[in-house]
Amino acid sequence: MSENQLTFKEMCARFDVTPRTLRYYEYIELLTPDKDGRTRSYGPREVARMVLILRGRRFGFSLEEIRQWLEIYEQKGDRRQMEVWIEGADRQLDALAKQRQQLDESILELQELRDDAADALMLTK
């Protein structure tokens, strides 16, 4: 195997993903490793795609959105990919801002309830 190729096991370890996850990414065509019989090898292209997949997941994008984004790059190049990425990023930023607002509200409410309970407990001593 070439020096810049990773085995299936190395790919799982490098990206801290399960074999099942890696196989699934292949099944839905996010990754297309080189195959020699049952042996898979992952070159720089697949490693770069995996970085983008995991980054997209961390930011909350669906696998389908990521797949479409990678497909646009393959078919139409960098400029269109960046336009689609910006549109998706804007949507995701709005969704994350809403989640943060809801989380802040929940934290505030929980803190108030906790403080009320602590105050009531102090009164009963």
- Residue 70: give the domain boundaries: 6-123
44 within some domain: yes
Is residue 38 predicted with pLDDT exceeding 90? Answer: no
Q: Exposed, middle or buried: residue 27 (CB in 10 Å: 0-12, 13-18, 19+)?
A: exposed
Q: For position 36, which CATH number holds?
A: 1.10.1660.10
Query: What is the number of domains present in the chain?
Result: 1
Is residue 72 predicted with pLDDT exceeding 90? Answer: no
1 within some domain: no
The pLDDT of residue 88 is: 87
pLDDT band for position 77 (cuts 50, 70, 90): low
Mean pLDDT to the nearest integer, 17-29: 95
58 within some domain: yes
From residue 42, give the alpha-carbon distance in Å to each of 1, 17, 36, 47, 62.
Answer: 10, 14, 12, 7, 23
99 within some domain: yes
The pLDDT of residue 10 is: 96
If we measure between CA atoms, which residue out of 13, 64, 73 comes closest to residue 42? 13
Is residue 1 predicted with pLDDT exceeding 70? Answer: no
Q: Taking the CB of residue 104, how many other CB atoms lie within 10 A of it? A: 10
Mean pLDDT to the nearest integer, 57-69: 90
Is residue 4 predicted with pLDDT exceeding 70? Answer: yes
Is residue 40 predicted with pLDDT exceeding 80? Answer: yes
The pLDDT of residue 2 is: 61
**CB of 88 closer than 8 Å to CB of 72:** no
Average pLDDT, the chain: 90
